[in-house]
Chains A and B, each alone.
Chain A
Amino acid sequence: MATPMATVTRPAASAAEEAPPRPSWLGALWQFCRQNPLGAVGGIVVIIMIGMAAFADVVTFYDPTRNNFGAMLEPPSTDYWLGTDQFGRDLYSRIVHGARTALLVGFVSAFVGGTVGLILGVASAHFGGRLDLILLGIMDVLMAFPLIILALAMVSIFGTGRFNVIMAITIPFIPRCARVVRSSALAVREMPYIDAARACGFSHARIVMRHMVPNVFAPYLVVTTAAVGQAILLEASLSFLGLGVQEPVPAWGLMLRGGAQDFAESAPWVAVFPGIAISLAVFGFNLFGDALRDWLDPKMKI
């Protein structure tokens, strides 16, 4: 005869007394800004960049790829806020549209690379043994190469173009994220609730995806956010070297190449403004990434 299970119910008021009130998202944002003013500045830069990329067609006045030799190398003016390049193209329009290229490459590379790294890192920690050893070995080999060198090697294998550049930047990010995530996942693996999940007979996929991944999400988010800035810088570097996206696509690194070098003395704005755009974007993402780490890492709050 089955014994009915005893159920214990707690008064709602008692639960409410124990848990502190959860701040609204606006409150949380205010708290974040107060605790991390530099991070907030970075966040604002990131938001402006995303806004520029999303509404590029609305906030610019000229087609960024349209030649206009009548306005060749015009200095900044009311007609051309940031001047024009050697093809007479409006630099402001090219920089705003260039944010699309930078963000597309930056976000896709960082998040795809980070996510693949997350899965590999957690799997490596969970299964351990030979798989861990092999994956760790591969990651160590990949990490032995500086980021730019590995990206250059990838471009020489895949070729130039937007998609290939994304691939070239994504692959070097995988081991970097995998290493960070793996170290967190090793700690999570030893938690009682993981033992409980194993005892319940859950599948490996369920343990990894439902119980381990959510608990290593904070380091993943931090690494990925910081990687966006690095990816933007890498894309600009590859384009500057002629190995990234190609003319006439508006891209900041590409804008620093060719005409910017040839005309740097007589028309410095051709080189200065794309340079500022790259610096601001990387600066913004790095500040924001650092602040996010501080905010999400419980150890930093002690």
Chain B
Amino acid sequence: MDMRRWTPSLLALAALAIVPFASSQIEAQTPKRGGILKYVVPGEFPTMDGHRENTFALIHPLAPFYSVLIRVDPDNPNSGTYVCDLCTEMPEPADGGKTYTFKIRKGVKFHDGTGLTAKDVEASFQRIIFPPTGVLSSRVAQFTMVDSVTAPDDETLVFKLKYPSGAFIPALATPYNFIYSKAKLDADQHWYEKNVMGSGPFIFEEWQPGAFVKGKRNPDYYHPGKPYLDGYEAIIAKTQTLRVQAIRGDQAATEFRGIPPKARDDLVAALGKDITVQESDWNCVLILSPNHKAKPFDDPRVRRALSLALDRWQGSKDLSRISIVKAVGGIVFPGHPLAATKEELEQIAGYWPDINKSRAEAKRLLKEAGVPDLKFTLTNRSVDQPYTIVGTWMIDQWKQVGITVEQKVEADGPFYESLKAGKFEVGLEFNCQSVVNPLVDVSKFRPDAGDQYSQIEGKDLVKLHEAMNRTADVAEQRRLMRQYEKLILDEQANNFVTLWWYRIIAHRSYMKGWKITPSHYLNQDLSGVWIDK
């Protein structure tokens, strides 16, 4: 085995090992069969197609219906190791790290009774990596290293890469990579946008738009003994108060996205030992994106001033009391070996330890750019946690250097329309990833990334990012990552990282077998969850 090819995965493993894991009272008990798990979901999926969507609102209610090729180890999700779901064993890379051959399980059935073969897996990854015209795949950019996917027989799947890449296996383990039926896709590539039919631990039962999704146990599931639950009900509840009250009143066992510290404290105070809390750093961050095509944000001095005005160090202490944000970091998940240290961060504009010096520089830059009394509109999502809370905090921070900001809050549809059409001055958006894989995670900051809304230009970032992905030398990756980060956050002042999220899950203590991860996308197929009542 070529260890160099696995280095990024091992780095991820090392990073995940240091993820705080407070209050997790995971007990080694024998799982019990039966029961219906009810949980609340803070949003609703735009379509039912996992290949197309990016939202937890799809993963939480629909992931239990599907199988994936490989996944983060569900029994030890913070280990950073990957295990087979539909494959029989994790492959050794061949051909100098450019070929991966997977063997697919025999006897797996879709919920309609048809058999699942390597051809179905191939068709699914063809759709994800090389989507046909008119089909939207959100993860094409994660698979730029893939040259071809083939299924020479019903049990073999072969990926050929253009170049060896440590980012390939983590990309493959993305939980959105649902395996669809080839027959359904051949008939209609858009069928899965409005229908559910997988081979996962639960069979789709009912969906009431705006209300709930129900699933029942798959008796033919290929992991022996699983799932433990008879079924589940994902209840859509967009208001946080409603969700917390649902848990408190035992109308729901939990919410899998994350709640703010205050809600956690209220639940613990009210329910005592009946509630269990699991916490973790979160591979999710709010990104401040100025529109480089909108004046005066075409001037890097103005953009730099926006970042210099923010006191992230104090903001972390303050906002972590009322919101789901906490860690100060650069573009890489804090704590990961590729992430900037505190000393390195303090060299970047907006992270200086002396906020007065930082704000004086912000005022100087604004004056020099001819906009000492800058006024603009911050376009934000109509989601309290943490969007409007962080937005409100930033407006106060900017006010202290003479910038007046009006917050324009929009629902998801109009919000993304504004960003995609470039109809905004400064936007507050996010970079949330499932598997901790910084080499892929930071692709958002490339000018050619599908979710890069700042309309930035320049090839230097692309070159740096590609160089990072092609080298197996960790020290070199780290060196290049610092250059990439400095360019984005400071020298070109393209986008800005605000604060990283902090995940708090409070669940009824009778819900067992679920373990927190640094992503609200991971480990959500519920096959290992059981009820101890």
Contact = CB atoms under 8 A, between A and B. Distances in A.
Interface stretch (A113-121, A132-140, A262-270): A262-270
A248 B321 contact: no
B410 interface: yes
A248 B263 contact: no
Contact of B408 (A66, A246, A264, A265): A246
Interface string B284-322: 000000000000000000000000000000000110011
A66 B400 CA distance: 9
Given A72-B322, A86-B322, A261 B392 contact: no
B262 interface: yes
B409 interface: yes
Nearest to A258: B384
Contact of B395 (A242, A248, A259): A248
A86 B390 CA distance: 12
Interface residues of A, number: 22
Contacts of B396: 65-67, 87, 248
Contacts of A264: 241
A160 B388 CA distance: 14
A128 interface: no
Nearest to B382: A242
Contacts of B322: 72, 86-87, 259, 262
Contacts of B266: 265-266
A261 B240 contact: yes
Interface string B388-408: 110111011001000000111
B352 to A, nearest CB: 20
A36 to B, nearest CB: 41
Nearest to A88: B318
The secondary-structure label for the interface of chain B is helix
A51 interface: no
A69 interface: yes
Contacts, number: 62
A93 to B, nearest CB: 14
Contact of A247 (B263, B321, B392, B399): B392
B42 to A, nearest CB: 14
A37 interface: no
Contact of A262 (B263, B318, B392): B263
B409 A262 contact: no
Given A258-B384, A262-B240, A262-B241, A69 B318 contact: yes
B384 A69 contact: no
A96 B201 CA distance: 57
Contact of B409 (A65, A67, A86, A160): A160
Interface in A216-266: 242, 246-248, 258-259, 261-266
A259 B414 CA distance: 25
Contacts of A265: 266
Interface string A202-214: 0000000000000
Contacts of B391: 247
A246 B382 CA distance: 10
B401 to A, nearest CB: 14
Contacts of A161: 406, 408
Contact of A72 (B321, B388, B414): B321
Interface in A40-66: 65-66
Contacts of B240: 261-262
A258 B395 CA distance: 17
B320 to A, nearest CB: 10
B164 interface: no
A228 B227 CA distance: 59
Contacts of B395: 65, 247-248
A69 B409 CA distance: 23
B249 to A, nearest CB: 14
Contact of A160 (B263, B317, B389, B410): B410
Interface in B140-174: none
10 contacts: A65-B396, A66-B396, A67-B318, A159-B408, A160-B409, A246-B388, A246-B408, A248-B396, A262-B241, A263-B262
Interface of A: 65-67, 69, 72, 86-87, 159-161, 242, 246-248, 258-259, 261-266
- Which 8 pairs across A and B sit closest by C-beta, in order of nearness? A69-B318, A247-B392, A261-B241, A67-B396, A246-B407, A86-B322, A246-B409, A258-B384
Given A247-B388, A248-B392, 12 more contacts: A65-B399, A86-B322, A87-B392, A87-B396, A159-B414, A242-B409, A246-B406, A246-B409, A248-B396, A258-B389, A262-B240, A263-B262
